[in-house]
Amino acid sequence: MSQNIFLTYRDHSNMHQPLKGLKVISLEQAVAAPFATARMADAGAEVIKIERPEGDFARGYDQAAKGLSSYFVWLNRGKKTLILDLTQENDRNKLDQELKTTDIFVQNLRYGVISKFGFNLERLHQVNPRLISCSLNGFSQKGSMADRKAYDLLIQAETGLASITGSAQDAARVGISIVDIATGSTAYSACLEALVQRGISGKGSKIEVSLFDVMAEWLTVPLLNHEAGNTPHRIGLAHPSIAPYGVFSTKVGPDILIAIQSEREWFNFCELVLFDKNIASHRKFSSNIARVANRAETDQLVANVLCKLTSEEAIDKLKKADIAFALLNDMEGLSKHPCLRRINIQTEKGPVSIPAPPAIFNNTEPLLGSVPSLKNWK
């Protein structure tokens, strides 16, 4: 069995904590906002998560992390929980007092709800001019659908992402909460930009990020291709603009995804894998544009060779030809993958092993805070 790279706690004297000393209040739930504030907590900020008495509903998504929700454990490490019932005046006053000394205020309540509770952003910025507020919504607050409920899969459908995801026969959901994660990442980046700006001007910022806008921007390439008369279609595990670029079966072993990115790679592939360098100059295969136009024949050429090789033999030839490839893994494959970096985080049910944050600073291991239980921290 392959061994993961397991990070342990050692000397953290040089720990990278650029947001240490910052106070973050987050009126958050589910995935998008918690993703952004988890990154802030990892970077050393004091993140105070406001939860209703029954808790963030993401606490009940599953029980995969030692009886706790995998979503909640992943996205709420290092935070403090403050339980408030914002229908009660006393609790609203508590939050109002906290916001007067807050650096970043993140919220992803449905459009208009925060104002109904008395937290008008204009007023908050007047009281605290250095405040950076970041509101995450389903749709732009300036559009006609501002008050419409929106969740990850709904936005995958609404933006058209689902129309280009899946097999030729069936549309499919991307297998993770890609819209929420993308929105949380965008919100985090925007807050960091606002911090830089505040360091120069001394003034805070009012930020709005919508799930729809984020995913629409990520869909720029398929959108422009559609408007140019080349509407993308679902092609499963293949690339719409490059060939050969897809999954091929071997005689024995896992399927292999092969990616040819240049004509030099294609020539090497034909010579060292297909053992016929003349294919590279054939009119149907001499350029990527030609290969895409003749995708079925191109793929068949590759399939005819790889099906006679074991995966180990195919990998050996691909390495010699310097061709990019990947095994078609599943979660079992990821769990045992030799490149998977893991780290333990503490929960009320004991340590949980999760993939480590991707950014590595100064060659030091990350120090992640524990996951809060549903009780006030003070």
> pLDDT by residue (tens digit) across 179-236?
999 999 999 999 999 999 999 999 999 999 999 999 999 999 999 999 999 898 888 8
β-partners of residue 353 are 344
- CA 60 vs. chain centroid, Å, equals 21
Nearest-CA neighbor of 252 among 322, 315, 334? Answer: 315
What pLDDT sits at residue 218? 95
d(CA 46, CA 19) in angstroms, rounded, equals 8
β-partners of residue 132 are 104, 205
d(CA 72, CA 66) in angstroms, rounded, equals 12
Nearest-CA neighbor of 184 among 292, 372, 37? Answer: 37
Mean pLDDT on 113-137: 91
pTM of this prediction? Answer: 0.85
What pLDDT sits at residue 308? 93
pLDDT digits (tens, 9 = 90+) for 339-352: 999 989 999 999 99
pLDDT digits (tens, 9 = 90+) for 297-337: 999 999 999 999 999 999 999 999 999 999 988 888 888 88
| Burial (CB count within 10 angstroms: exposed 0-12, middle 13-18, buried 19+), residue 129 | exposed
Q: Which residues make Cβ contacts (< 8 Å) with residue 70, sequence separation at least 6?
A: 61, 62, 64
3-state helix, strand, coil in the chain (%, to 5): 40, 15, 45
Residue 340 three-state SS: coil
> Kindly report the CA angle at 244 between 240 and 250, in degrees rounded to 5?
125
What pLDDT sits at residue 110? 82
What pLDDT sits at residue 117? 87
**Average model confidence (pLDDT) for the chain?**
89
Contact at 8 Å (CB) between 141 and 208?
Answer: yes
What pLDDT sits at residue 4? 61
pLDDT digits (tens, 9 = 90+) for 7-32: 544 444 456 789 999 999 999 989 99
What pLDDT sits at residue 112? 79
Q: Tell me: pLDDT of 75 over 50.
A: yes
Nearest-CA neighbor of 265 among 294, 240, 238, 245? Answer: 245
Contact at 8 Å (CB) between 327 and 333?
Answer: yes
Q: Which residue has the higher pLDDT, 14 or 165?
A: 165
d(CA 71, CA 59) in angstroms, rounded, equals 7
DSSP type of residue 132: E
Cβ atoms within 10 Å of 231's Cβ, excluding its own: 12
Q: Tell me: pLDDT of 145 over 90.
A: no
Q: Which residue has the higher pLDDT, 149 or 265?
A: 265
Residue 95 has, within 13 A of its CA and on its CB side, a CA count of 28
Q: Which residues make Cβ contacts (< 8 Å) with residue 85, sequence separation at least 6?
A: 52, 53, 91
Nearest-CA neighbor of 347 among 117, 23, 47, 71? Answer: 71
d(CA 247, CA 266) in angstroms, rounded, equals 16
Q: Tell me: pLDDT of 80 over 70.
A: yes
d(CA 132, CA 195) in angstroms, rounded, equals 8
What pLDDT sits at residue 11? 45
